[in-house]
Amino acid sequence: MDLDAVRTFVAAADAGQFQVAAAALSITQQAVSKRVAALERDLDVRLFTRTARGVRLTVDGQAFLPHARELLRVAERADASVRPGRRALRVDVHSRRTAPAVLLQDFHRAHPRIELDVVTLDADVHAATAAVEAGTVDATFHAVTIPARHLPGAIRTARLIDEHHEVLVGPRHALANARAVTPAQLAGHRIWMPGMAAGTEWASYYDELAAAFGLTIDRVGPVFGNEALLAEIADSAELATLAGERTRYLWPDSYDLRRIPVRGPAPVYPISLIWRDDNPHPALTELRAHLDSRRADAPDTEVWLPTWRLT
């Protein structure tokens, strides 16, 4: 169905005159007549009765009018869903449990009038950056492992989240009652992180972390989801896993899992916001300002960063 004809029909129905509708649509009265006539042929009904004072809806026209209005509303929503500057700000997070998703929820609470579309591309930094460059998403969160000069020309990055780690253990684990642990204390324990994809920036990070402190990070085993992972750790006296301090996990009280900060030094996973500098979406600047205002380094805390963030 021709939406221009439907829009013209609604304008004429509201105005009661083709001439007034033409002025409202910035077209000629003849164009209004042609569009309405084409719509009537398409529907095989008469929509208007011509009168000395203008036009009046027929019974069929009255029946069609609310549906015509709904068609236009649906078309407007469809257009707004994909048009930059009109659609919701579309931001990619690798997982809805991790720090970027938590901060996006914080942003939504602070700016409830800004429409936000949170998506998960399940991509590494290279694929996610390509999505930003193509305009598929307005921004993404990832650790950036290459110098800015090697990024596509329009891409900009800002390191806005320094995510500290916690070790997650069950109640029978040797570290269960510790208030904090050092990376050196983790060296003799099996850290289980099954399913970590080789070649990703997070795999690169954990490889370097393991080499720096002599950690044993075990990626072996099928992935049955976070719920199964937590159940295994809760039941084990040996297994542990690493999680960001703002990563959200839920488990039954009976698991009695412990989240213990890793300090001295505190390993930090550096997360950057990635966006196009020519992106016109008005909410993008507000998001960047919000994240920047909430970025704070822990005072008097010695940190460890991967070498690719120090060059």
CB atoms within 10 A of CB 112: 9
Q: What is the mean pLDDT of each run of 10 residues along the chain (311 residues)?
A: 92 90 90 94 93 89 92 81 72 92 94 92 90 91 89 91 95 96 94 88 94 92 85 94 93 95 94 93 92 71 83 51
Instruction: Give the per-residue pLDDT at 76.
Output: 79
Residues 41, 127: Cα–Cα separation, whole Å:
49
pTM higher than 0.75:
no
What DSSP character marks residue 215? -
Rounded CA-CA distance 167/199 in Å is: 23
- Cis check: omega of the bond before 265, within 30 degrees of 0: yes
Residues 6+ apart with CB under 8 A from 132: 92, 138, 139, 140, 155, 274, 275, 276
The single-letter code of the amino acid at 55 is V
What confidence score (pLDDT) does residue 86 get? 63
